[in-house]
Amino acid sequence: MPHAARASLQQWLARNTTLNALRRQAQVAEAMWRELTPALPPVLAAAVRPGPCTDGVWVLRVSSPAVAAKLRLQLPLLLNRLQAGGWALQRIALRVQAPLPPTAPALAPGRVQPAPAAVQERLRALRARRKAQG
């Protein structure tokens, strides 16, 4: 991108109050997330993404109801940690938002994707054992 075009884009972004508000909201969410991440087990933290923070409520997006249940047990501790760090929060809300697999290929209607090799091997072993039994 030419320097002049980049400069005008940056000027436009600086004047756009909606984009500035969204950018600030994302920065706040990321800063709070950096403060909380060390308090979470790595497996649990990997299944959570920071969401928007508005009117004292911060939304965390979780990958499954099971993750939400585990995280819900820790919410009071996490909220206290953020409040002690100076964040003006009244509540942390959880929203289940299952992510799409990163490399999920689009399948044609009616086409079945083959099972992974490990699953296929296990099925072969089970079939052989069943056949041997009777």
- For 45-77, what is each residue's pLDDT tens digit? 999 999 988 889 999 999 999 999 999 999 999
Q: Phi and psi dihedrals of 6, rounded to 5?
A: -65, -40
- Which pLDDT score is estimated for 133? 87
Tokens of 4: 């002049």
- Which pLDDT score is estimated for 65? 92
Q: Where are the chain's structural domains?
A: 3-100
Topology classification of domain 3-100: GMP Synthetase; Chain A, domain 3 (3.30.300)
pTM > 0.75 = no
Over residues 19-23, the mean pLDDT reads 81
In this predicted model, which residue has the larger pLDDT, 119 or 90? Answer: 90
Using a 10 angstrom Cβ sphere, with 0-12 exposed, 13-18 middle and 19 or more buried, the burial of residue 13 is exposed
Contact 47, 62 (CB under 8 A): yes
pLDDT tens for each residue of 92-119 = 999 998 664 555 555 555 666 677 888 8
Inform me whether the pLDDT recorded for 91 exceeds 70: yes
Report the phi/psi class of residue 50: left, alpha or beta, with left for phi > 0 and alpha for psi in -120 to 50.
Answer: beta
